[in-house]
Each structure stands twice: as structure tokens, then as C-alpha cells.
Chain A
Amino acid sequence: METLRLVASYLMMVILAPPIMLGIITKTKAAVAGRKGPPVLQPLYDTIKLLGKGAVYSKTTTWMFRLGPVVSLAAVLAAASLVPLVGAPLIAFNGDAILFAYLFALGRFVTVTAALDTGSSFEGMGASREVAFSSLAEPALILSFASLAYRSGGLSLAQMFAPHGGPSAAASAILALGSLFVVLLAENSRIPIDDPNTHLELTMIHEVMVLDHGGPDLAFILHGAGLKLVLMTSLLVRLILPEMPAVGAVGSLVLGLAAAAVVIGLVESSMARLRLVRVPQLLVAAICAATFGLILTLR
């Protein structure tokens, strides 16, 4: 019974949290710009609409193009089982943090190859940028994981991403947090690294790779991207936000996610996308921050 409830609440989080979070980001941006903006649940309506639509496939494409959205969503779903979304994760073991990082890499690999399958030069360009920037984000991610693992004494996400005492631990956690926030923006194609709402294919990274997808495939991609954002954000939220007894584990996570969505919305409203040549510099800065965080744990 307990397991059933856990799984049910997990499913609720996995299905509902991504569209709502994206909705809040859009709403925040609209509010800052003085617009009313679409309803918070608009991304969910979009997904449902897309699931009911047919699809148009390019004659150039093969099964890889069709497999891409499916496997990338499956990889993110598997990664979700490692993240404590309802107080505890479905599966936790020593070393699951590395699996988490590599499941995202799997998602990236299939998305990139699906993009190359179209033979479009724009999608090739997006693929090329995606693999380049993610390979610079990778060391920042692993170094932050390392300092969090040393701080908490376990290489499991549930253990690593929890408040742990001590001011020196806090300092390293803050550096890891900063670094991971940049990684989050990069991995989820947000401003200042990528602009999900841009209308010029030449400047896009993630969105340009999925230009040719439509119908259920696009629904899978959009939901997977949202879920990826939720997963990484909820890890960061758990790192800084202690569990509030008044609302329980799930409640505090949901509140934290909403707050994080507002922060992301504010970041996106207050700055423009970086020039592409500047993106590696930002990511290298994230690597440096993570290295400093690691050095602080060395004492």
C-alpha cells in the first residue's frame, strides 16, 4: 500500500510538475514584461493537443528519427526514479549520481542523432552546439557532484542533495549550487545559454534540433525537456531548502520548484542570450566555481 502510494504520487509529480513549472516561468516573464501571459497550465494543454495530432515525417529520416524522442523521454523518466521527488527516491544506491549524469547523456545522444537524421543543416548546427556545450558542462556537473559527495559521505543523489550542517560545508555547497545552476541553464537550454522562444533558427541550440518533430514525438520531447528541468531544479531546491514540517516533504519541494521557476523567469527577463562564443566562457567559470567548492572540502 505504502509503495503504491509512493508510485502514485511519483507519477503525479512526473506528469504534472514539468508543464506547471514551465507555465510559471512563462507567467513570470509575462508579468515582468507587463503582459497577462498564457495560463499556467498552457504547456499541459499543448502536450495533450500534440498527443492527439498526427505527424509528418521527412522522407530523409529513418527509424532513428522516430526513436529519438521515445528514448530520450525514457532516459529522463529513468533518471526521475533516482531523484527524491516525493521525499524519497524510487531507487537509490551508491553511485546513482553518475548514472543520473549518463542517462542525460543518453537522452542527448539520441536527440542529436535524431536531429542529424533529418539531413538539415540547421539541425546539424544545433546538434553540433548541443554536444559542444554539454561537454563543457559535464566537468562542472561531476566536480559539483564530487564536492557534494565528500560533504555528505555518500555518492547517492538522495544523500548528496540534502542540507548538511557546518559553515564550511555551506560554503562548498554554495559554490556547487552556483555551478550547478549554470549547468541547469545549459542543459535545459535556458537564457543566457539558449533561448527557447527565439524565432531565428541560426541562433537556437535545442529548439533547432527538434524542428522536424511533430505530434506525439514533439509532445514527448517537450515533456522530457520539462521533466529534465524539474529534476535538476528539485535537486538544487533540496540542497538549499530544508524540509518544512508544515507542508511536508512534497509540499516543500513543490513550493521550492515554484520559487525556482520564478527565479528562472526573472533571470530570463533580465538578460539577453549570450553570444555563442561567450557560452564556453560561462561554462568554464562554472567549472572553476565547482573546483573551488571541491578545494574547500579538501581540508
Chain B
Amino acid sequence: MILLLAAVLALGVAAVLSASLFRHGHAARIIVIGGLAAAAIAGGALAWRVLWGLEVLDFIRPWLVPGAVFHLGIDSLSACFLLLVLIVGGCAGVYGEGYIAASHGHVPAIPARFFFLVLMASMALLVGARSAILFMVAWETMALAAFGLVSCEHGKPEVRKAGFLYLLCTHIGSLCLLALFALLGRNAGSLEFSAFAAAPALPAAQRTAVFVLALVGFGMKAGFMPLHIWLQEAHPAAPSHASAAMSGVMIEMGLYGLMRLLALLGPVSMPAAIFLVALGLVTAVFGIMFAMVQRDFKRLLAYSSIENIGIILTGVGLGCCGLASGSPSLALLGFSGAILHTINHGLFKSLLFLSAGAIYQAVGTRDIEACGGLQKSMPWTCGLTAIGAAAICGLPPLNGFTGEWLIYSWLLRPDIGHGMRFAALAAAILGVVGAFAVVAFSKCYGLTCLGQPRSEAARNAKEPSWIMLGPMALLAALCAIIGVFPAPALYVAFAAAGNVARLARPAVSSGLDEWSRLLGVVGLLGAGVCALSALLWSLRRSLLRRRGVAAGPTWGCGFTAPTARMQYSGASYPVPVTRVFTALLATQEEVHPPLGYWPVKASFASRTPDPALERWLPVLVAKCEDWLSVPRRLQHGRLQLYLLYVSAFLVVILLWKL
């Protein structure tokens, strides 16, 4: 357990040093990378001991905070998330050094480094926290560090707006969590997690309250629809390595919290479990549909994070369905699918955010319509983006498929009870989500990296430095390895799922044996696709070697002077799909068609506002303002009267206690 403290401490010390003594140049860089490496080694060793050594570690010390003890603990669930934090965060942190250096002062180095390391440290502490107070301390530190990262470039008004929106949302979430822990703590008589688990069951009404509070509190961080409103604003605003860490691991901490609570409090009822599945599917469909229509590629990635959170939540809900129906094997399958997808999403989403950052720096814009043709000038970045895009679509030789396959296997189990066969509808929705992901990411990759450059900046783009490419390559390699050889990742996912479902070791390992055999065949076939591709590639080369290969222009279908601007645009690419779902997307179009015999000017603009943020929230806020207009009179800005309130309140409390 000293290892976890060492990891947190290494990150914390590096954070402080990078902001105080070693602010500039190589020293800062060495401090950051050294801190990350030390944390990765310590945390990795700890995770290894817990996951493969089958130890469960506990560390309890008295603490100065009243009513609390300093209680850390690591089980497989914590170890799994710790590993993810350290790998994804480590890659993003190393990349960040290159990113900061290449930004020429646009990204303020000192806050970017400091808040990033604090974010890492708080997440490492969070997964180990075993008492509500420590958990909340880590949670709030994480939330504030992320706020610091989002508002790094606070010179821009849209960044300030995104930062405040995020701060507001995260505090609503934290408020719910405080209420949640207060409820649980009152029932258990202590704020220790172990006391929560041992406490008598709550009455039905309070159970519902706990469920709702947890859903809002953790869901606000994870981005369940319609609580996602901050996500698509904050991710594009943050520097890319921070978005990678936020999207790859921080929002998944919301799911960690949910699963930790399940592990403590036990199964939820069947209707609640089905609600979770439905919420997950709604989130997934919503996220990917809005991802398709974005023209800012970081916004597209942020919406796709919402989609993936939805898929993970679906898996969690399915696990709960398994628990509620008394089938441990189904519970294990659902949770392990969710956790495997969490791991996978952490890897490919951070990879995509990192490459998005590289492209943003090279082209100077996040607008898909201004990119294009980058694969010629940035072959490495674009090649890695292609791997990430294929992985996020869940295509077979890569890791995205493995987690989704487990969830499909749950939904399409032939031996499932008759009543549960409606699960097939969920599978169909998941299929739509997968197909829409192909739309979104063939657009994101295809229109950004392929074709002809649509702007002068795109034509002159430069490959980023190796310190940025190295971490991206590592993440891409992990995506490919898990896809072809899923056994280790599946082992980790099952071990963690066993914690969530509260199953004993033998039950977990028998389930693991079954599914790792099947998933092994999937990986084998993925390797087969790679081998066949290599074979066909060499066949093609030897065939072409004998004949000539010539170069020419793209076939313009008879038109001889095509320009880059005539390429298919990102706005029109998803239109065949979005036309079908006009009612859902409510895209606003402003059309000025060419008029008259000699038209001079014509324009077309389309925009798809987020319904939750721009349509529903204003209504809610207006309602709240109505309700609160009376108590608002108390808020007049005179300090003396505020002090009077405080003393009056104290007197009332004292009188009440007498």
C-alpha cells in the first residue's frame, strides 16, 4: 500500500516542484516525466500484486480530520482503474510536454503541468479511497484540477464560458454525492466504506434516493444524457493532453464511483437495472448522433465520449440485470464487458485526442472543413489516427471490438429467459450505434486526413515531434495488442467485475475460462485478418512489380478542373443519415440559394445545437429563477446583514438543541 502513497506522492511532489522550483526548460520536463514514470512504476507494481498476486490491501491510519480515518484499500476494481489512470495519464503527460513546447506560449506551461499532475494524483488517490471523506477530498481535487486545465487558455471567452459551465456542473454533482454519503453515513453510523457495506439495508424510499443521488452525482461527471452538457464544451477548450486524460480516464471515474457503490451496497432492483440499460442506450445513441454532425473535431470526439460512456453504462446495467435475476454468470459478463470497454475507451479515445491535438497545432484550427490531405504531410499522426478511428468503431482486429462483443454476447444469449429476449432490441440499438460510429469516424479521419488539403495551413502542416508521437504510438500499439491478444485485458476486466458483482474467486475464474477461450478465437481471427492482409499486400506488390504503376489525377467524372473545395464536405457527409433523424437532431439551416439568372452570392450554413444545453436548460433555469425570486431578496450584497444571518442561524440552532 506504501506503493500507492508513493505514486500519489511522486505526482504531488512533481506538481509542486514544476510549479515552484523548476518552472522552465528541461528541468521542468524532467520533473514531470520523472514523476509520471515513478508513479507508473509504483502503481504498476501495486496493480500487478493485486491483480495477479490476488492480494487485497488495506491501509488504515488515524487522521486529523474529525470523524474520519485515513483509509486506503486496493482491490481488483481499484487496481484496474489505477492501471488505466497511470497508462493513459502517463502517455498524455509525456505528450503534453511536447505539446506545451510546440504551442509557443499559447498553452501556459506552469498551470498546464501543475493541474495535470494534480489531476493524476487525485485520480490515483480516488481509486484507493475507502472512506467517504477521503473519497470526497480526492473527488473535489480532481474536479478542481480539471477546472484548472479546462481554463488554461482563459484568454479566450469561449474557454472561460466552458470552464464555468464545467465548474457549475461538477459542483452540482459533488453536492449530490455529499447528500448521498450523508444518507449512507447516517444509516451506517460511520463514513467508512466498510461500514456502508456492513450496515443494515436502507428503507425503500431511501434506497431510491441513494440510487437517484448516485446517478446524478456520478452521472454528471461521466456525462450521462442529459447531464452531459459540460462535456462537449469543456473537452475542446482544454489543451489536448488534458482532454485526453479527462476523456480517457476522468469521466470514467464517474463509472468507477457507480461500480464502487454497487460493490458496497449490493444489487439494485430489476426495474432500476433496466433503467440503467435504457439510460445507457439513450446516452449512446444521442452521443454518436451528435458526434456525426460536428465540424470541430475535438467536439466530435467529446460527443463520442458520451456515446462510449453510454455503452459502458449499458454494460453496467446488464450486469445489474444479471444480479437482479440471480444469475452470477450474466452479472459477471455484463460488468466485465463494461470494464473492458472502459479500458479500451481510455486507450483509443486518449489516442484520438492526442492526435487531434497534433493536428490542431499543425493546422491551427479544429475545423474539419479546413483540414484534409494531412496524411501526406503528417503520415505518422494520421496513420495512428486511422488506428484509433478503426478501434473506436469497434472493428475486429482492434480492441474496441472485444468489449462490445462481450456486451453483444450478453444481449444475444440464446439461452436467455423468454422475458429477457427484449434484450435483442438493445443489441439492435447497439448495432446502430456501432454503424453510426463508422459514419462519425470515417468522417473525422477521412475528411481531416485524406483527400486534398482544403486550406493553405493544411497544405503546409508539419509532423509533430517524437515526444508527442511516441505516446500516441504506444497507445495505438496497446489498442492493437488487446485486439489480437485480449486475454490479459479480459483477465483484469473479470477480476474487477468479480469485485463489482461480489463474487468469489472460483466463480470468477470459471467464467473467465469460458470467455477468454471464445475471445481468444476472436483475437485469432483478428490476427488472421492481419496475416491475410499482409499476404494479399505482397501478392499485389509482386503483381504490380511486373506491370507499370503510373500516377495521374483523380478521375473527375469528365470534369477536368476539380479543386479542393469541390470535395465532399464534412457537413454533407452525414446528411443521408441525419435526414432520417431530423426530428431528433433539429439541425438549423440557413440557406440563401442562388437567385435570378445571374446569381452573385449564395450561402449555406448549418448548425446542430445541443438540445439539453440550448433548449432544455434555459427553460429549467427560467423556471428556477421564477421560484427563487422571493428568497433572492435575502441576497442583497450587504455584508453586515449577512453576518446577522449567520449569528441568527447559530442562535436558532443552539435553541433547537437546548
Contacts and interface: CB of A to CB of B under 8 A. Distances in A.
Interface of A: 51-64, 66-67, 69-71, 73-75, 77-78, 81-82, 91, 93-99, 101-103, 105-106, 108-109, 112-113, 116-125, 127-129, 131-136, 138-139, 141-143, 145-147, 149-150, 152-155, 201, 211-212, 215-217, 220, 276-277, 280, 287, 290-291, 294, 297-299
B525 A91 contact: yes
B135 interface: no
A78 B529 contact: yes
B543 interface: yes
B172 interface: no
B217 interface: no
Given A55-B547, A67-B533, A116-B451, 13 more contacts: A60-B451, A63-B375, A81-B525, A94-B409, A99-B401, A103-B529, A105-B394, A106-B395, A117-B451, A124-B567, A128-B572, A135-B436, A150-B414
B585 to A, nearest CB: 14
B568 interface: yes
Given A57-B550, A116-B446, A119-B450, A127 B568 contact: yes
A59 B552 contact: yes
A99 to B, nearest CB: 6
Contact of B395 (A56, A105, A153, A287): A105
Contacts of B539: 216
Contacts of B415: 153
Which 7 residue pairs across A and B have the least CB separation, nearest first? Answer: A124-B568, A135-B435, A132-B576, A54-B547, A146-B424, A116-B446, A119-B451
A297 B421 contact: yes
Contacts of B442: 109, 112-113, 116, 127, 131
B395 to A, nearest CB: 4
B529 A124 contact: no
A223 B169 CA distance: 54
A154 B414 CA distance: 6
9 contacts: A51-B543, A56-B549, A56-B551, A97-B412, A105-B394, A138-B428, A152-B414, A153-B414, A298-B421
B200 to A, nearest CB: 39
B590 to A, nearest CB: 21
A91 B521 contact: yes
A42 B572 CA distance: 38
Given A113-B450, A128-B574, A297-B421, A58 B376 contact: no
Given A105-B438, A139-B428, A74 B529 contact: yes
B412 A105 contact: no
Contact of B373 (A67, A106, A119, A136): A119
A138 B429 CA distance: 9
A55 B550 CA distance: 6
A138 B438 CA distance: 12
Given A113-B442, A138-B431, A155-B409, A121 B566 contact: yes
B447 A58 contact: no
Contact of A217 (B540, B575, B579): B540
A291 B65 CA distance: 58
Interface stretch (B238-246, B352-360, B556-564, B614-622): B556-564
A142 B532 CA distance: 26
B163 interface: no
B532 A95 contact: no
Judged by DSSP, the binding face of A is helix
Contacts of B373: 60, 119
Interface in B509-568: 518, 521-522, 525, 528-530, 532-533, 535-537, 539-540, 543-544, 547-557, 562, 564, 566-568
Nearest to A54: B547
B577 A135 contact: yes
B573 interface: yes
A128 B451 contact: no
A60 B459 CA distance: 12
Nearest to A94: B518
A119 B452 contact: yes
A226 to B, nearest CB: 16
Given A119-B564, A143-B428, A58 B555 contact: yes
Interface in B220-244: none
Nearest to B525: A78
A81 B539 CA distance: 20
Interface of B: 372-373, 375-376, 379, 386, 390, 393-397, 401, 405, 408-409, 411-416, 418, 421-422, 424-425, 427-432, 434-436, 438-439, 442, 445-447, 450-452, 518, 521-522, 525, 528-530, 532-533, 535-537, 539-540, 543-544, 547-557, 562, 564, 566-568, 572-577, 579-580
Contacts of B567: 119-121, 124
Contact of B536 (A73, A125, A135, A298): A73
Contacts of A277: 579
Contacts of B544: 54-55, 215-216
Contacts of A212: 554-555
A110 to B, nearest CB: 8
Contacts of A128: 568, 572-576
Contacts of B540: 66, 69-70, 216-217, 220
A86 B554 CA distance: 42
Given A62-B379, A149-B412, A54 B555 contact: no
A276 B576 CA distance: 9
Contact of B396 (A53, A103, A108, A297): A103
A290 B379 CA distance: 44
Given A54-B550, A102-B434, A294 B386 contact: no
A124 B557 CA distance: 13
A122 B557 contact: yes
A291 B574 CA distance: 26
Given A98-B408, A117-B450, A216-B543, A93 B518 contact: yes
B411, B429, B435, B575 — most chain A CB neighbours (10 Å): B435
A109 B552 contact: no
Contacts of B413: 155
B518 A142 contact: no
Residue among A52, A94, A153 having the largest count of chain B Cβ atoms under 10 Å? A94
Nearest to A143: B428
Contacts of A99: 396, 401, 405, 522, 525
Contacts of B574: 128, 132
Contacts of A91: 521, 525
A56 B533 contact: no
Contact of B533 (A74, A118, A131): A74
B532 A118 contact: no
B553 A59 contact: yes
Contacts of A106: 390, 395-397, 529
Contacts of B551: 56-59
Contacts of A54: 544, 547-550
Contact of A135 (B427, B438, B537, B564): B438
B310 to A, nearest CB: 16
